Structure 1
């Protein structure tokens, strides 16, 4: 099973942040050749057939890494996830759901862009069920059902076109949206030099240099978007900010964006 150097590096970074069931979940998904093939084909369709940016193994791992970082910051600040608040599970269970959703959310791109989140759910369910049946006994059906539901909600809501209500799903949404650094649009830009309608998205994405996630001063999470040109504000204001705005995690986020070496503009 071939994996790019970038993918391998991301997997190593993810695994170092995990333990317990969350770690076992990531390890199982990372070593499944059928899933790898599905993620790679989603990228082929996204880039070569549809002309979109990266929606494959690297993107799904970047989204996962971002979601884990934010989960840890919330956890360190004493913010309980919905599973724990509702008495249905613990933090490890919540993180397991976040990882399942983040690593499977774009499988539907192997079919089409339109409503791909719904198609992703159908393709993801066999993987979700296999992982949960491996981790839990038959007597833990309530817990399995809760984790499964959260994972599906995370996939369902990652496009910000459907209302979501859990912090877990909200992390998946923002983790996905925060993968907007210039490298994600590199291959589509190389493959197509013709100007076309919608290229402002590609141009603005190419201006994003770095998305940093770390502990905030006033809130648990600080997300800072650094760009090399002001066109990058389009990506922040038209794509990323709407995702944060609809996410249940919004109250815990500080969002800054600006051109490198200039004053950062605060959105939240």
Structure 2
């Protein structure tokens, strides 16, 4: 399943033209720049070779990045609407408008290390992303701002890995958004090539992920799954990303088994 503008009401796709709860003019300029940048787009295609073609793993290429970036920006908007504090840009003396730029750059570059290897890819992502940021950031920032922005983006990239603890709200968003790309479309390629590992099978069981304003917290994530295999995506992967993200109290997650034709081992789980 792919995202479309029609899904925007469920906070699945970031629309630059929409009204947001944050200043978006600079973010939109940066987003336009990076989506047309040849080097970045080549990385996004190349980073899928090790993950999918060689290791039969779930998608980590341009579609994954598009979905994670959309989820991250929609999470950002919902959290800003809920008056959640963002400390990354602020503690560096940067402007509120720079929060979204940190998020969009980190979401775009967080998996570039896959061009080296799937294993420990997050640590390869840091030097590769640093080189890209050295070229891109001066297009929008002076020298001092570039140094500070670079540090914040790299921190967010590093902390999408569960072994590293996010120290900023911006980094927490990237960590959670990465796990929110769990719908069945992500495992289509390895599944069609015979991949039947738990990551592939569990992703095949997730029908839809929707974000919306919550009643008890700023964000509620609703996950519709077609069988109990989807519990692995929710309980093992998403739960692990949400834990220690700094957003545990801000995001409520509800997963419902929507398959009415079979005996249900799991009907509903909530984190």
The count of aligned residue pairs is 254
Aligned-residue offset at 1:234: 1.4
Return 5+ residue gaps in structure 2 as ranges: 261-266
Aligned pair partner of 1:111 in 104, 112, 116: 116
Alignment match, 2:104: 99
1:131 maps onto 2:136 in alignment:
yes
1:133-212 aligned at under 5 Å gives the runs 133-138=138-143, 141=144, 143-192=145-194, 199-212=197-210
**1:230 aligned to 211, 228, 240, which one?**
228
Are the equivalent residues in 2 in contact too, given 1:105–1:155 (CA < 8 A)?
yes
- Give the alignment's TM-score, normalised by structure 1: 0.88
In 2, Cα distance between equivalents of 1:112 and 1:16: 37
Deviation at 1:44, TM superposition (A): 1.9
CA shift in 2, pair 1:158/1:83, >3 Å? closer
Higher deviation after alignment, 257-266 or 230-239: 257-266
CA–CA distance in structure 2, aligned partners of residues 264 and 90 of structure 1: 41
SS at match of 1:246: coil
**Separation of aligned partners in 2, 1:127 and 1:117:** 15
Give the helix-richer structure, 1 or 2: 1
The answer as to 2:255 corresponding to 1:249 is: no
TM-score, normalising length from structure 2?
0.87
Distance 1:16 1:185, change over 3 A: farther
2:212 alignment counterpart: 214
Stretches of structure 1 that go unaligned for 5 or more consecutive residues are 1-5
Against the structure 1 CA distance between its residues 131 and 15, is the aligned structure 2 distance closer, same or farther, given a 3 Å change threshold? farther
Question: Partners of 2:124 and 2:210 in 1: how far apart?
Answer: 31
